[in-house]
Structure 1
Amino acid sequence: MTVAPATVPRFARGMRLREDAARNRWVVVGPERLFVPDEIALEILRLIDGARSVDAIVDDLAARYDAPREAIAADVLALLSDLHGKGVVTP
C-alpha cells in the first residue's frame, strides 16, 4: 500500500512522537529506533492523528504558511512515503 492524498496516516504500532528532554528535541521513537525530525518534518508529524488525511494535513500547512499547495503536497507525500518504507507510519 502506498501513501496517497486520501490516506489517513498514523504512527505504526510502537512508534510515537515525543519531546526528548535530554536532547531538547522532538523525536520519533519506537522499538530499538529513534529518528530526529527536522523542523519541516516535525510540523508534518505533529499533524498525524489517525483521523486527518494527507490532503487535510497539506491544507492545514498550506494555510498556515501561505505556501503553494502543490509544493507542500509533494513534500508531505515524499516524507510520509519514506517513513512508511521505514515502518514509522502506516496508511
Structure 2
Amino acid sequence: MKASQADGWQPALAPVIVRRHDRARETDLLVLPERVVVLTGRAAVVVELCDGTRTVRAIVDELAGRFPGAPVATDVPPFLDRLRQEGWLQ
C-alpha cells in the first residue's frame, strides 16, 4: 500500500496552483508560478477530486464508479504521489 493510501492523506492543490479550463484549446491546465501544465486524458478528472475533503481511497472509489473496469486502484495513487512529489498537491 502506498503512503498516500495509508496515511489518510486528503490531497488538495498547493495554494500557489490554479486549475483552469482553456476554452480556446478545450483543455484543462494547472497554472503554476512561471509554468503551465496541460492535463491530458483523465488527469483533469482526478485533479478535480483533489479538493482536500476526500482521501485517496475516496477518490479511487469515486473514479471506479465513474469508469468501471478502468485500473484506477493501481494508476491513481501513484499519479497522486507523483503530483505530491512535484509539490503540486499538499
Instruction: Return structure 1 stretches of 4+ with deviation > 6 angstroms.
Output: none
Unaligned runs of 5+ in 2: none
Give the superposition deviation at 1:24. Answer: 2.7
Distance 1:72 1:8 in 2: 17
Confirm whether residue 88 of structure 1 aligns to residue 81 of structure 2. Answer: no
Q: In the alignment, what sits opposite 1:15? A: 17
Q: Is the 8 A contact 1:3 1:77 kept in 2?
A: no
Give the superposition deviation at 1:8. Answer: 0.1
Aligned residues: 87
TM (normalized to structure 2)?
Answer: 0.84
TM (normalized to structure 1)?
Answer: 0.83
Unaligned runs of 5+ in 1: none
Percent identity for Structure 1 against Structure 2 = 34
Distance 1:78 1:34, change over 3 A: same
Q: 2:55 aligns with which of 48, 53, 62?
A: 53
Distance 1:21 1:40 in 2: 17
